Amino acid sequence: MIEVHGDLDAEMLDRLAAHIKDAFSARQRFLAIDVSAVTRSVPGLLDLLGRTQRRLARRHGLLTVRGFRPHLLPGVDIGVGAGRSPRPEPVRTRTPSRQLPS
């Protein structure tokens, strides 16, 4: 498991990418990354995790990310206030009326 702590800046993101590269060099198929102790992140984190999962999938492997929270997506508005869960918009469908032949 790779554990990440504190502010995840560009330099730290590069270090995380290097650890992931080492895991691929060791031919690991299953990788776990714990970001629960990350206080802030740069925008590239989600891209790095996506690329890692795609690469592992080609090996029939899996990436597990523990502790990923909305504040780790800087610049992405998910519409959730502090302490509130998002409420899905109601789905309204209209069923056309059918007339029976007379």
Q: What is the pLDDT of residues 51-89, one digit of tens each?
A: 999 999 999 999 999 988 877 776 554 454 445 445 555
Here the tokens at position 38 are 């990350």
Q: Which residues pair with 41 in a beta bridge?
A: 8
Share of the chain above pLDDT 90, in %: 39
- For 81, phi then psi, to 5°, come to -80, 170
Here the tokens at position 12 are 């730290």
Angstrom CA distances, 35 to 14, 66, 68, stand at: 15, 6, 6
- 20 CA to centre of own chain: 16
